Amino acid sequence: MNSVIKGASYILAFTPEMVMQNGTTQTTEKIVNPESEYLKQLESHLRTYEQVVSYPPNQAYIGNIHPNELAQIEQPWHDKAIEGASRFGKYGEIMPEDEFICLMQICDVFDLVKLDKSFVAATKEKLEQHPLMTADIIARLKEGEDAELISKLVSEEHSEALYYNKELVGCVKRAHDVDVNLSAHVIHENLTSKATNVLSLLNLVAKNNINKEDIDYVIDCSEEACGDMNQRGGGNFAKACAEIAGFVNATGSDVRGFCAAPTHALITAASLVKAGTFKNVVVSAGGCTAKLGMNGKDHVKKGLPILEDVLGGFAVLVSANDGINPEIRLDLVGRHSVGTGSSPQAVISALVTESLDRANMKITDIDKYSAEMQNPDITKPAGAGDVPMANYKMIGALGVKRGDIEKKDLASFTVDHGMVGWAPTQGHIPSGVPYVGIARQDILDGKIKNAMIIGKGSLFLGRMTNLFDGVSFVIEANQGKTKEEGTVSEEQIKGLIAQALKNFASNLLAE
Amino acid sequence: MDLENQKRVKEFAEKYGAENLVVVLGAAEGEASGLAAETVTNGDPTFAGPLTGVQLGLTVYHVCEPEIKNEVDAAVYDEQVGMMEMVLDVDDIIAEMTPIREDFCKYL
């Protein structure tokens, strides 16, 4: 019996100060070229919270507009706004930086985040109005410290500064004097990932009417690593996030695989549920401060706003088959194996067509493909092109080589079976998974019958292998079978035992 | 071109001699190909990497350009590059690459 996609959430946290303080493009520039024009101009290119909320791709990410509606808006999108846009959406929300900084402290159980007293007082009131911030969560927020102490921690003790509206409002302390794995920088990065993950978990249960107590297992699939000098990357983000979110009956673990990790994790979750090991498994991930403003130099050079100013997060609940929600077809899993090779042709064949061939399906038998759903508004000015479109062209071109479609139909294939990208360039966040929640709804609404989710990862970044990686799976409309074929009911078993006893008795009589 | 690759190209040029190297690019579009080609000929135009101000003048082609395609067994080329050839704007790539080669390559 296949497992199902029972719900999904998608959140963003608007963190313009972290663009300046923590994005690696900026931190690198501060080291190699501290007087650069880019650094001088950067601040004037930052957007306001209202601009970020009304930015069409962000509204698509949290579920207030469908990607099909986004496609109707002429690109570029940075100068467009959705009228009356809300911070809250069908799948999640866009959190402002002051609330997010407080959420970081809520997620800190080692007293490493120190916040200014007056900042806490002002922001706590806002958080109390937040529909998902329950009293037990807000109770984790501390009263705050004097401004002098925070300044001292930043200037004298290597703490990572936390700014809001250009003012120092707090800091993240280092967790060890010597261990670089517990430096303030690493703790800051990990707490932002944790906080965005927790926000995703809270939205997942709230937006999908799920009981927190029903969650058995959480899999974190972000790109961060937590641990100390003796076990760097030991984990366990998943359990740490489940604790703050109040998933009291859950344990969990972390799955890593660069941008492909969410798809690896969803396949793992679907397998755990199908095997009956757990009934409800959540796959989730938080965002990454390092990637904030990653393409900022190109954006500033072209007079654009800094468009990589949000951290992303998501959560997906995979559950036992309920006869309603879309099923995950584990027999249609595609994978890039060690022996596959790295040419784009070999990669796309391994991820897309090899699994389809097993079911005698054509490329056109899949209604929608979701691979790398990066927002082209961000990537095109940076010279990386339209990434989703490049994927659709490759899948279509493979279809032409296989004879599934005519070459003249390549352009229409990319529209009919593809989508425009809407996800922020946060590595694992745009990778296949942004469409899972929307695909679930589109399948439930009968708009499509199936979709293929593809995760691709660049493993060379870790310098352990030059191999490419990727996995894929298909979700389709529920077939309405909630019992495994070939299994027998209690009545049938009773009948079989009775028959066996009768036979035994008659044998005894015969003797 | 990322900093690590610039460093490797520079090291190869020192080790084997710039006249003995050919750089084959696989970038997905014209502008990125042009930037990479400029980096290994006239120096890093972004002034960020080890090739900043270093005019290696290396011979450089994109894998989809005819000069490379004609060097490769047709069946192998089709298997390895055929699909991408269909996807990429090859004319745009050639248009970006040609003037850079003409202006900056020292060993053509």
Both A312 and A387 in a single domain? no
In a domain, A329, yes or no: no
Q: Do A394 and B79 touch (CB under 8 A)?
A: no
In a domain, A485, yes or no: no
- Which residue from B minimizes the CA distance to A347? B80
d(CA A467, CA A326): 33
Task: Classify strands A368-370 and A113-115 as parallel, antiparallel or unpaired.
Answer: unpaired
Both A403 and A290 in a single domain? no
Q: What's the whole-number mean pLDDT along residues B81-94?
A: 92
Q: Is the pLDDT of residue A484 over 90?
A: no
In a domain, A507, yes or no: no
- Which residue from B minimizes the CA distance to A391? B87
Total domains in chain A come to: 2
pLDDT value of residue A255: 98
CA distance A309 to chain B (A): 23
Both A147 and A254 in a single domain? yes
The CA distances from residue A7 to A280, A316, A439, in Å, are: 11, 6, 11
Q: Do A394 and B83 touch (CB under 8 A)?
A: yes
Q: Do A401 and B82 touch (CB under 8 A)?
A: yes
Helix%, strand%, coil% for chain A, nearest 5: 45, 15, 35
CA distance B16 to chain A (A): 23
Q: How is chain B split into domains, by residue range?
A: 3-104
Both A17 and A65 in a single domain? yes
- Contact in structure between A367 and A417 (CB atoms under 8 Å): yes
pLDDT value of residue A126: 96
Share of chain A above pLDDT 90, in %: 92
d(CA A140, CA A195): 13
CB pairs under 8 A between A and B: 43
Q: Do B83 and A32 touch (CB under 8 A)?
A: no
pLDDT band at A489, cuts 50/70/90?
low
In a domain, A459, yes or no: yes
Share of chain A above pLDDT 70, in %: 98
CA distance B35 to chain A (A): 9
d(CA A408, CA A429): 33
Residue owning tokens 């990066």: A374
| Full domain range(s) for residue A173 | 4-319
SS3 state at A331: strand
pLDDT value of residue B47: 87
Contacts of A390 in chain B (CB under 8 A): 28, 87
d(CA A14, CA A144): 22
pLDDT value of residue B48: 86
Q: Is A347 on the interface with B (CB under 8 A)?
A: no
Q: In this complex, which of B29, B35, B83 lies closest to A344 when CB atoms are compared?
A: B83
pLDDT value of residue A97: 98
SS3 state at A91: coil
- Which residue from A minimizes the CA distance to B82? A345
Residue to substitute from A345, A389, A394, A401, interface B, most B β-carbons within 10 A? A345
d(CA A198, CA A193): 9
For chain B, the distance separating the N- and C-terminal CA atoms, rounded to the nearest angstrom, is 22
pLDDT band at A507, cuts 50/70/90?
confident
- Which residue from A minimizes the CA distance to B86? A397
Q: In this complex, which of B28, B35, B83 lies closest to A345 when CB atoms are compared?
A: B83
Q: Is the pLDDT of residue A510 over 90?
A: no
Between residues 139 and 168 of chain A, which touch chain B (CB distance below 8 Å)?
none
In a domain, A50, yes or no: yes
CA distance A393 to chain B (A): 6
Q: Is the pLDDT of residue A503 over 90?
A: no
d(CA A411, CA B87): 10
Q: Is A397 on the interface with B (CB under 8 A)?
A: yes
In a domain, A374, yes or no: yes
Q: In this complex, which of B79, B80, B87 lies closest to A397 when CB atoms are compared?
A: B87
ipTM value: 0.74
Average pLDDT over chain A, rounded to whole? 95
Both A304 and A339 in a single domain? no
Both A282 and A426 in a single domain? no
Q: Which of A347-356, A476-485, B41-50 has the lowest mean pLDDT?
A: A476-485
In tens, the pLDDT along A373-429 reads 999 999 999 988 899 999 999 999 999 999 999 999 999 999 999 999 999 999 999
pLDDT band at A250, cuts 50/70/90?
very high
Q: Do B87 and A345 touch (CB under 8 A)?
A: no
Q: Is A297 on the interface with B (CB under 8 A)?
A: yes
- Contact in structure between A344 and A468 (CB atoms under 8 Å): no
Both A296 and A386 in a single domain? no
In tens, the pLDDT along A261-313 reads 999 999 999 999 999 999 999 999 999 999 999 999 999 999 999 999 999 99
- Which residue from A minimizes the CA distance to B47? A33
Residue owning tokens 């932002």: A192
Q: Is the pLDDT of residue A490 over 80?
A: no
d(CA A316, CA A208): 10
Both A228 and A344 in a single domain? no
In tens, the pLDDT along A432-463 reads 999 999 999 999 999 999 999 999 999 999 99
Both A344 and A295 in a single domain? no
Tell me if the bond preceding A236 is cis, omega within 30° of 0: yes
- Contact in structure between B38 and A389 (CB atoms under 8 Å): no
In a domain, A345, yes or no: yes
Q: Do A400 and B81 touch (CB under 8 A)?
A: no
In tens, the pLDDT along B35-61 reads 999 999 999 998 889 999 999 999 999
Contacts of A394 in chain B (CB under 8 A): 83-84, 87
Write the burial class of residue A104 (CB in 10 Å: 0-12 exposed, 13-18 middle, 19+ buried): buried
Q: Is the pLDDT of residue A486 over 60?
A: no
Contacts of B48 in chain A (CB under 8 A): 32
Both A65 and A162 in a single domain? yes
CA distance B60 to chain A (A): 19
What are A281's strand-pairing partners? A217, A318
Both A112 and A238 in a single domain? yes
Q: In this complex, which of A297, A384, A401 lies closest to B83 when CB atoms are compared?
A: A401
Give the number of other CB atoms < 10 A from CB of residue A134. Answer: 11
pLDDT band at A15, cuts 50/70/90?
very high
Contacts of A393 in chain B (CB under 8 A): 86-87
pLDDT value of residue A67: 98
Residue A375 belongs to domain with CATH number: 3.40.47
pLDDT value of residue A498: 83
CA distance B84 to chain A (A): 7
In a domain, A296, yes or no: yes
d(CA A391, CA A369): 9
CA distance B18 to chain A (A): 25
Residue to substitute from B52, B87, B92, interface A, most A β-carbons within 10 A? B87
Q: Is A32 on the interface with B (CB under 8 A)?
A: yes
Contacts of A348 in chain B (CB under 8 A): 83
Q: What's the whole-number mean pLDDT along residues A332-344?
A: 93
Q: Is A390 on the interface with B (CB under 8 A)?
A: yes
Between residues 436 and 475 of chain A, which touch chain B (CB distance below 8 Å)?
none
Nearest by Cα to A185 from A418, A299, A416, A21: A21
Q: Is the pLDDT of residue A87 over 80?
A: yes
